[in-house]
Amino acid sequence: MGVVHTYSVGCNGFGLSLLAIVKTLLQEQQYKMERTNEIHSFNESNEKNDGGGDDVGNTIDFTPESIELIRNRLQYSGKSNYKFTFDTTKKIEEAAVLMPLCVVDGKPSVLFTIRSLNLKTHTGEVSFPGGKKESTDSSLESTALRETCEEIGIPTSQIDVLGKDSTLPNKDRTIKVHPFIGIIKHPIDIKKVNFNKDEVYGVFSVTLKDLLNKDKRRLERFRDSKIKYPVFATPKEIGLEIWGLTAFILESA
């Protein structure tokens, strides 16, 4: 049996994930909107204004204020309820991925890639742009940004990195994967994303509203695992599911 060591991650299970942060922002913005509507309604007609919107998924926007809130909250983390082991009989490598926040068709979203069918591993699966750290990378953040530019053609100058999420292992527990969260500074037209066809089969986005929709995600136990893993739905035209490490990074514990 190989020698292993324990590696703890994040807080609240899988870390202070983006969805947990966004959910809090939604609640705050919804409260502000409801208060504003109440005041307007009282001042104008003294009648209830139900335009506050029960669909809180539409109330968030990537304003400078909300971006800074996400940036600030990504700085906090705590002890994890889960522990992952790494096989120290093998070389433990470092890798980084970027979760690209973006605006698509006016809606706050997350950008995903579909891995090329020509790759050796995880072909055709949903992922974030990323890869192993190279000797020329000054940092893991640089790795994530370089890979993003190489895979989907978005230069570093167009990405504002907001922070880093909890480190996670790959399937074989031989790579420490460091997820970074960044926002693309300009709206995205999915059809015009200039992705690298050698590495990427296609790109698509999912709105924050859909990622937070409990009806569009589930927990599932894979193989002989003792814990259940998150699985997210994608738009019908994509026909895939978000699972594995990518779903781990997304999931709110």
pLDDT 10s digits, 148-166: 999 999 999 999 999 988 8
How far is 144 from 100, CA to CA, in rounded Å? 10
Is pLDDT above 60 for 61?
Answer: yes
Q: What is the pTM of this model?
A: 0.80
Task: Give the pLDDT mean for 87-93.
Answer: 86
Is pLDDT above 90 for 100?
Answer: yes
pLDDT band at residue 78 under the 50/70/90 scheme: very low
Q: Is residue 236 part of a domain?
A: yes
Residue 145: which CATH number? 3.90.79.10
Token pair in block for residue 44: 């104008």
The domain in which residue 213 lies consists of 89-250
The count of structural domains within the chain is 1
Pair 178, 167: CB distance under 8 Å? yes
Task: Return all residues near 245 (Cβ < 8 A) that are at least 6 apart.
Answer: 127, 168, 170, 171, 177
How far is 207 from 58, CA to CA, in rounded Å? 9
pLDDT digits (tens, 9 = 90+) for 221-246: 877 777 788 899 999 999 999 998 89
Q: Is residue 170 part of a domain?
A: yes
Q: Is residue 154 part of a domain?
A: yes
Q: Is residue 60 part of a domain?
A: no
Q: Is residue 246 part of a domain?
A: yes
Is pLDDT above 80 for 28?
Answer: no
Q: Is residue 41 part of a domain?
A: no
Q: Is residue 179 part of a domain?
A: yes
Q: Is residue 61 part of a domain?
A: no
